[in-house]
Structure 1
């Protein structure tokens, strides 16, 4: 299952398929050796390939293909360094802060982007001379894509002894070779695609990956930094979500921060040896775990088999039809897209539905990182608004004539305005107590709201006291003591002390 997708994702990124296969080998091997989640398979992925694809295309047009490759490999190394830093700083736990609605919108948008990237293969020619395939060429292209998808989707229902995508590619490759030999039709192949990029290439034959000297010149770094940051973020989100899924299946717990370091080291090594960067692969990881692959040996052996294929199977890769790879990618799109989204949108709060749609749209129109950030911000604001409206209080008058407000709900920036409307500043007695037994002050906005209420009572010649503050609330008030003056009491019997002193 790794081989066809390694080739297909290189195809998405606009680079030689060998680069994708090297990426699958190096990422798989390094993460299997040093990653925290045993049994998880990593390699070159569509999520990362689709991020670097615009950079490769842009630099190939503005400079040349070699410079684009330099940017790709350096970008992978920088991506890896960012991931290592993320793990060292123990930020892996923050993946739990990504809401499910954001994750759904993210994967839906990712699926659309990957699918959209395949549409270029329905054209022939390049640049301004591109024209849509016509007649027999279009018919054969569509037929082979449909056949690839049908085998990939339905074969697993009959047997899982062999990877369905591999069987699909072997089948369509055989068909196209027969059509070519009989002069009925010549389908564009992987080799044709590579020759279009570099007409000096005549074969995909490759040896062991060789060390690539990275370039950290400013002209390279200024190109790669935004793409690397985005790829690191997306790669870690995919990897940590995959880790969480495997944790649930195996009923064990992986170490997120260590996995971030492992993913980072994998991308650094991949960049140093001329491979396409990547992350954890959900589909392949599920295949491995469900087949009983729970240790490091499964990932290591998969990477070594991949390396053997790179060394001895290049002639096979050369004759794979592009229609077959497009079919494989459409299956990836089918599997990636959350089809339950359409039903989900009708059964969840409107705010959550809006977040899913907005994240999906922003992912397609802008990029994945901005989409995730926008989604998290919108979800946070929606949550703050919802919780903020729940703050309320019960009131009573004690034996001393003091009015006690028993506050319910959290006091923070989202509830500060509602909190200030709870009090009857003009008609309350001279002494007022706010009981925080069932409430907590969470931020400076909450403290400032208390100060505002205190001042409004003072303007009416009345005194406000705070009761049952938690240790955290006391700490916040102490920090703000230079600008905020409030009266904190331990219990409602403070009147007794005042009377005794009098």
Structure 2
């Protein structure tokens, strides 16, 4: 759907729907923005700034009609690792660079390529991220004291074990209240945002009955300012830019994947169609501008986008309204947010982690017990125990190798001969057996792509079946959709070896792409233009003309209908004249 089409037929009633849905999503986004920021290792207000700025820009410039953008749970492990290793200032630079990369991806129309990442890889790292988010909130849920945050999962788990004796019963009760409300609200109060209701109720209970006993946003991070920060360009030196290129690339890739997945979900819910390249450009603009206001990287949020649609959104206006709502709440109610207990934020992120875990898809892939199951488990384990960068790199490499292996197995090479019992004497593999095989003509059907992963199999199969004894090699390429330079090189080697000992190579049914490759590399000319045929029958007729007639005398194989005459001295001459005159054969 093109940008202008996003507002086709827009009217006043649609605007009312956008106002309502924007208000609802804006209220939901407030606690999530703060929670995601805290979990990412930065101050809570930075999540609010991101929700406002990125939310408005993504809806304005993106390619999806219903997309809601902002900070998301998927970014938490990456952003936390960047903050721990490089600091907040460098995180802003990484976000800015990621924005540039996303714009470049969109301009070069790479939107569709991102969706080619195998499903087991995305499920694996998404589930891994969910585990990291969930485990990262255990300390706040239990109110543990003295817990230091580390980059790696095992160190954080050890910290929890070392400080398990410091459980704060007040924090545990506060978190429990919030969690129960979040879980029950959709059933008993479906029109009220469960996360916001849980925070408000648990915060009030903590303020009235546990005052001073539970850590709050204010006690941990200070008072949240009620204004947007001043526009400021991060201090970008060449050294900093170089150092942040890899983190920026990971942010850009994950942001692109998440935003396009969210857009696809929105398409499925509404029957609309997003523009993937425009979506990447919109995400890029948002991630370039947001850091200038202190915000963290953002992307499309699947849950908030779905809520936006369910609330009746009609256009991108709802996403813009959602950002304005968050801005107004920041101005009017920011001081009150400082009293929110950290224990109230923990259940929100735990529920987010549970919902994003892809547990059903995870189990489904495991049940298949295929190479995809292994790919899923390895990506998941690496995400949890190393980092997302390693997990995605290894996952994609494994997926590539498994794909090559599968494709190589899909190539079949069969030696065939005509079946006289078939109406059109169709060639079949079961017609080749001991005592029934032409000593001078070898015919092979190649089925599948002839590329680097399968080219060796093609070569070996033909050599192993003894084609070296034949004078003429006929290759049926009608079922070869693709040939790369490796496949062409193997075919060239085979042709050269065959021609070196005086043999002739014929090709039939060659498809356009392989034919183009053969012409560009010169193999077409080496084989000979007159040795390419549209149909197998034509190629067989040509081959029969060029047989060594002396070797046919007395042959008892009789694999072609002409063999009876060719093996007889008295009729061989007349048969050869007939073949040269007609030059046609019914074999297919």
Question: Are the equivalent residues in 2 in contact too, given 1:104–1:338 (CA < 8 A)?
Answer: yes
Bigger-Rg structure (1/2): 2
Identify the residue that residue 225 of structure 1 maps to in structure 2. 245
Identify the residue that residue 15 of structure 1 maps to in structure 2. 42
Tell me the distance in 2 between the aligned counterparts of 1:478 and 1:101: 39
Question: Is 2:109 the partner of 1:90?
Answer: yes
User: Deviations along 1:30-72, whole A, 9 cap, x unmatched?
Assistant: 111111101110011222243121222234xxxxxxxx33222
Identify the residue that residue 469 of structure 1 maps to in structure 2. 510
Tell me the distance in 1 between the aligned counterparts of 2:397 and 2:116: 11
Identify the residue that residue 220 of structure 2 maps to in structure 1. 193
Closer, same or farther: CA 485–150 of 1 in aligned 2, 3 Å: farther
Question: Are the equivalent residues in 2 in contact too, given 1:165–1:328 (CA < 8 A)?
Answer: yes
Identify the residue that residue 396 of structure 1 maps to in structure 2. 417
User: Deviations along 1:452-493, whole A, 9 cap, x unmatched?
Assistant: 322443465433222221221122123322899434422414
Question: Are the equivalent residues in 1 in contact too, given 2:506–2:532 (CA < 8 A)?
Answer: yes
Question: Are the equivalent residues in 1 in contact too, given 2:59–2:320 (CA < 8 A)?
Answer: yes
Tell me the distance in 2 between the aligned counterparts of 1:362 and 1:273: 34
Tell me the distance in 1 between the aligned counterparts of 2:525 and 2:355: 56
Which stretch shifts more, 448-457 or 346-355? 448-457
Secondary structure of the residue aligned to 2:416 is: strand
Q: CA deviation at 1:150?
A: 2.3
Identify the residue that residue 300 of structure 2 maps to in structure 1. 280
Q: CA deviation at 1:322?
A: 0.5
Q: 1:78 aligns with which of 97, 103, 107?
A: 97
Closer, same or farther: CA 291–428 of 1 in aligned 2, 3 Å: farther
Q: CA deviation at 1:142?
A: 2.8
Closer, same or farther: CA 479–362 of 1 in aligned 2, 3 Å: farther
Alignment of 1:64-75 (within 5 A): 68-75=87-94
Closer, same or farther: CA 471–209 of 1 in aligned 2, 3 Å: same
Q: CA deviation at 1:227?
A: 1.6
For structure 1, which runs of at least 5 residues remain unmatched after alignment? 60-67, 196-202
Identify the residue that residue 124 of structure 1 maps to in structure 2. 145
Structure of higher RCO (CA pairs closer than 8 Å, 6+ residues apart): 1
Identify the residue that residue 171 of structure 1 maps to in structure 2. 201
Which stretch shifts more, 411-420 or 354-363? 411-420
Question: Are the equivalent residues in 2 in contact too, given 1:426–1:460 (CA < 8 A)?
Answer: no
Question: Are the equivalent residues in 2 in contact too, given 1:43–1:278 (CA < 8 A)?
Answer: yes
Which stretch shifts more, 341-350 or 300-309? 341-350
Q: How many residues align?
A: 482
Q: CA deviation at 1:127?
A: 5.7
Closer, same or farther: CA 461–138 of 1 in aligned 2, 3 Å: farther
Which stretch shifts more, 251-260 or 9-18? 9-18
Question: Is 2:422 the partner of 1:379?
Answer: no
User: Deviations along 1:67-125, whole A, 9 cap, x unmatched?
Assistant: x3322222221111111111111100112311221121121011112223324545323
For structure 2, which runs of at least 5 residues remain unmatched after alignment? 1-27, 150-158, 419-426, 428-437, 547-576, 582-588
Question: Is 2:169 the partner of 1:151?
Answer: no
Question: Are the equivalent residues in 2 in contact too, given 1:28–1:42 (CA < 8 A)?
Answer: yes
Tell me the distance in 2 between the aligned counterparts of 1:387 and 1:72: 41
Identify the residue that residue 262 of structure 1 maps to in structure 2. 282
Identify the residue that residue 532 of structure 2 maps to in structure 1. 489
Question: Are the equivalent residues in 1 in contact too, given 2:114–2:257 (CA < 8 A)?
Answer: yes
Q: 2:230 aligns with which of 186, 191, 210?
A: 210
Identify the residue that residue 325 of structure 1 maps to in structure 2. 345
